[in-house]
Each structure stands twice: as C-alpha cells, then as structure tokens.
Amino acid sequence: MLAMNQPLQVVGYIASRKGDEERGAQIRMRPDDAEARMLVDGELVWVYGPRRQEIAPLVLDDTLPRGGVVVRDLVGVAVTELVKVRKPDFDRAENRRRYV
C-alpha cells in the first residue's frame, strides 16, 4: 500500500474552453492510489502543486498508470510536475475559519 501523501506525477492536462460540456477543476487518479489516500470517487480534494493549491473533485480512472494523475483546468500545474492530493480537513478549528 502506498503512503498517504506520496507525490503523484501529472501525466496529462486537460484545458477546457468556453462552451465545452465539461469544464472546471478536476483531478483523475487510479482507484488504488485513491484508496491509499482514503479518497472516494466524486469527493472534493486538495491538490497541492508546485505553485499553488486548489480544491477539485476526484474522478477515478483505471486507465491511468500507478502514481499518475490527469488534471483539468488546474492553474499552476503542468505535465510532468509532482502534486500531492489530500482530503480536506474541515473539522479542525483553525481550518474552519478558512471556509466560512
């Protein structure tokens, strides 16, 4: 089983355009990579890139290589870079103020 916060490599980037049916932030990863991080399909996750962090919904995709992710419309992330994906912690008092 993989470590929960092991970095993942961006192996694909999808840039949507105005008028595209599916738009907005998204991250795709293998089910076993998600399970190691206790993440489920459709869950909102923090994506920590080299330049910024952003929340995106998770989509599970069996076709991706182990340790690889595909991102859509995430600013500050490029192909071949490493990202970390974590479950948001809305329960801690210090973090709760950030989301109100």
Encoded tokens for 22: 């599916």
Q: What is the pLDDT of residue 1?
A: 46
**Poorest-pLDDT segment among 52-56, 66-70, 88-92, 93-97:** 93-97
Specify the pLDDT at position 4. Answer: 62
**Within-domain flag for 1:** no
- What the block records as the tokens of 56 is 């995106």
Strand partners, 56: 45
The CATH number of whichever domain residue 83 belongs to comes to: 2.40.40.20
Q: What are phi and psi of 79, to 5 degrees?
A: -60, 140
Residue 15 has pLDDT above 50, yes or no: yes
Write out the H or E segment, with its range, that includes residue 33.
Answer: helix 31-36
Give the whole-angstrom CA distance, residue 76 versus residue 30. Answer: 22
Residue 3 forms part of a structural domain: no
Residue 32 lies in a domain: yes
| 100 falls within a domain | no
Whether 2 is covered by a domain: the verdict is no
Count up the domains in the chain and report the number: 1
Q: Is 77 within the bounds of a domain?
A: yes
Which pLDDT does position 90 carry in this prediction? 72
Domain that holds residue 64: 8-95
